[in-house]
Structure 1
Amino acid sequence: MFEFTNLTYKIGSKTLLQQVSGCARPGEILAVVGANGAGKSTLLRLLSGDLKPSGGELLFGGGPLAKWPLAGLARRRAVLAQQHSLALAFEVRELVLLGRYPHFGGQPTAHDHAVVAAALAAVGLAHLAERSYPTLSGGEQQRAQLARVLAQVWEAEAGFLLLDEPLTGLDLRHQHHTLEVARDLARQRGFGVIAVLHDLNLAAQYADQILMLRQGRPVACGPANEVLTCENIHTGFGLEVELLAHPRLGCPLIVPCPRQSTVAWTL
């Protein structure tokens, strides 16, 4: 379980995150939403251990995150970053095998290769296992990176995935497939998933809890029906919306309201 209380992060005199509290539990998906610059990625980097908080408390598995040994942490939680840099032309299976490094010493075992194959199948890329990673489309590269983090925590009990904008570059079908994979991990294997999402309707459809941020401060945290209100969305995004009931799922369906243009098109 990730628990964070009054989490704050500052760079010099600038506060990027201020007194943010929440809890991400095994078996659930926590979606972090907010406008650009709201502090979503900063929060995820704090939870991953990449950044050290300026204030507040951050616990993982019942103890301070900062006291976890790196090797043990790598076997319990995996992070899908927002941007990926890869200088070498790895095959896709070789890229995914990188996620197994915390689990073997000198050479990967047959089990490690089996996990790689299973992770690729889970994201629908088994047929591209031998392709060079740079030749993939942006969406295929994103799915390959997801397979890598899945492979990293494949055997973990109550493992965690931290996903920073995991739907970038994905078409509609694969957006839903990615969130279905996350949901299945949570429901069937007891994983906890923390995902930064931009699409509020997808967050409403798949997340158990939603944390909304605005300019580094929390707007609301809780179930979709409580967080995704017209008032909160206007506060967090500066957008007028109407809420409808989803015809099949019962979650909120968010419809932006048209507004008159404020752009001056003439000189």
Structure 2
Amino acid sequence: MPGVENHVKFCVKVFGEANRELCYIVNSWMDAPSRKCGKAHRMFRHNTNFAIVDACRLFGDCIKKRSEERVDYLSKLPIKVYEIPETEKNKMIASMILQHLKLDGLITPDEEKKWTWNQLWKDIEKEIRRGNYFFDYKIGLEKRMVNIFRKVGEEKKEEKRYAQLLREMEEEKKKRYAQLRREEGQKIAEISKKFDLIICAVLIAAMVGGVLIAAMVSSFIMFDLGFGPEAILASIFVFVPILSAGIYLGTQLERRKMDQIRRVEKEYEKKLRES
């Protein structure tokens, strides 16, 4: 969809440098609602027949005939009746509007070529019979549409604010989740460290104690019987049970450590679900 500058450029190329000012006026008038409505500006001033009538009434040769007593049901303004003759200026304005609509992709080149001034009034007559006086009070209707777009804009702002609030809540939830995970990891590390130290101490004590007791037993045997296989077997029989007892105690401590770790994990899993 070309901008106003491009529309004017194409218009001047077709209608000549002498009509640059009129090209700018017509094309900028057609796209003026885009400043408030954005891409939805095509709802205004982009209907082929109504745009031509409005533009000719504003910038072309137009004769105001009378104001009727009837009041438009939308704008609450008197319905004005105009006479727009088929002059060269009006036909040029119509051609400019058709070119604008063609460049916007709203009509085809064939539709532009087939358009005639007489067909314009036939189409408008059909609209009038259907009760559509859109081109007579378009300004009032545009104001209503701008209010609608303003309301939609406020709703979008509210949606953005709500989305921002949700993002903040999600960020807070992630921070809380990370904090709980860190606390869980710290507790598990403390439990593991404490039990690992105890297990190491028990195993070392079992080994050292077993060695010492086995040495004492073997020394007594050697004192009575002298050095022989009896002393070696006695030391083995003493050392192995003591070491086995130490290993068993270490295994029990390891199980207790794992039980405590599982309790901590369940506790923090519950906290995570609650948060």
Relative to the length of structure 2, the TM-score reads 0.23
> Which has the larger share of strand?
1
> Which has the larger share of helix?
2
| Higher RCO (Cα < 8 Å, 6 or more apart) | 1
Relative to the length of structure 1, the TM-score reads 0.23
Larger radius of gyration: 2
